[in-house]
Amino acid sequence: MLSTSQYNGSLVSSYLFHKSYGDAKWRFGKEEISVLCGNFPLGAALSKRSGVLRSVTNEAHIRTSDLKDPKPSFQTEKEKMLANYVPVYVMLPLDVISPENQLSKPDELRNQLNTLKKADVDGVMVDVWWGIVESNGPKSYDWSSYRQLFQIIQEEGLKLQAIMSFHQCGGNIGDGNSLRNVECLSVGVDSKPLFYGRTAIQMYSDYMKSFRENMEDFLEAGMITDIEVGLGPAGELRYPSYPESQGWVFRGIGEFQCSDKYLVADFTEAAYEAGHPEWELPGADAGEYNNSPESTKFFKSDDGTYLKAEGDFFLTWYSNKLIVHADRILDEANRVFLGCKVKLAAKVAGIHWWYNHPSHAAELTAKLKQKSINQT
């Protein structure tokens, strides 16, 4: 009896071949269907109800001679599951490293990690907060608490997904409230040397370089399997358009985040170069955090500004600023971690509210322009 699970055919993964006088039989529960064995694709199954030969993936030709003296299969349930195994990682608390750069309750943490290991969890994910590690001054990095944390994780036999968190905990949904939106730097300062001679992109790059240098032993050991690169609030590729710290509540369309002087100047220059110096950034016409699309001039479904040339130009500019921002940071990450045995990852926000409105207003204030927005 030859198990076909090894061929990963979706229709035949749980069926068994039986050698029977030159024929093969497919077993469907309690029913067997005979199929001639001369020369046929392994990834084919005959439906008794429809009488149609259906093809599936991973085809291979089997002759009767190939079925002689098959080796028995004694797969355990766990071995069967491993054929389609998906690693499981558990997110550690956001404050596992305190704002004072101290590991919180290490003994309790070790016990919790041990429990996860016994439950066959593969590893954990943790925010590696830029604002904590470099809090003592420019390029003054203190990795001691994170090294202590990583050492405990390694000793408990778990893997690690590390998040390069360039945002601040606070203001995002579930993070707790703050007095102002302090989640991340504006994309308008990505190329501005405002930080003791460094640009924002250079600061992100320097931080990742320091991480690699100080965590080289964990990287070489393969304990760190993934590096997620933060691209905006909550680490996501988006603008901080719906912060709870500013009073936003669910289903509000949010607000465009381009009112700082650097982005205002950038848009003014772009509009002038496009031959429309009269075009301005959306203002009150785009509404406030908790408006609905139809209560604004910009997002109205019938004749909103977003449907016109001026609105389309702005949305393209706004979206492209975010794309360029992501490209720059991810380019730096690729350079920094070149040669490391890790996967690089990024997180994209799922903005689902107002999806059925023609404007997709909440998506537009937060992130990327819909390609077909003028056709909806």
Task: Measure the CA–CA gap between 156 and 193, rounded to whole angstroms.
Answer: 43
Expressed in angstroms, the distance from the first to the final Cα of the chain is 57
DSSP secondary structure letters along 339-351? T-S-EEE-B----
Residue 292 identity (one-letter amino acid): S
What DSSP line would sit under 285-328, residue for residue?
GG--TT--GGGSSSS-TTT-GGGSHHHHHHHHHHHHHHHHHHHH
Tokens describing residue 282: 């959306």
Other Cβ atoms closer than 10 A to 111:
12
The DSSP code sequence of 351-368 is: --TTTTSTT-HHHHHHSP
CA distances from 170 to 64, 175, 241, 242, 375 (A): 66, 5, 14, 13, 38
Q: At residue 250, does pLDDT exceed 50?
A: yes
Residues whose CB falls within 8 Å of the CB of residue 115, separated by 6 or more in sequence, listed in order: none
Query: What are the pLDDT digits (tens) for 287-335?
Result: 999 999 999 999 999 999 999 999 999 999 999 999 999 999 999 999 9
Q: What is the pLDDT of residues 123-174, one digit of tens each?
A: 999 999 999 999 999 999 999 999 999 999 999 999 999 999 999 775 454 4
Rounded to 5°, the CA angle 70-71-72 comes to 115
| Single-letter residue type at 330 | L
Percentage of the chain surpassing pLDDT 70?
A: 75
Distance of CA 334 to the CA centre of its chain: 16
What's the pLDDT band for 369 if we cut at 50, 70, 90? Answer: confident
Residues in Cβ contact with 273 at an 8 Å cutoff, skipping those fewer than 6 apart: none
User: Can you spell out the DSSP letters for 51-117?
Assistant: --EEE-SS--EE-GGGGSSPPP----HHHHHHTT----EEEPPTTSB-TTS-BS-HHHHHHHHHHHH
Q: What is the pLDDT of residues 181-235, one digit of tens each?
A: 677 899 999 999 999 999 999 999 999 999 999 999 999 999 999 999 999 999 9
Q: pTM for the full model?
A: 0.75
Residues linked to residue 91 through DSSP beta bridges, in sequence order? 125
Task: For residue 253, count other CB atoms closer than 10 A to its CB.
Answer: 31
Residue 72 has pLDDT above 90, yes or no: no
The confidence score (pLDDT) of residue 298 equals: 96
Q: Are 290 and 354 in contact (CB under 8 A)?
A: no
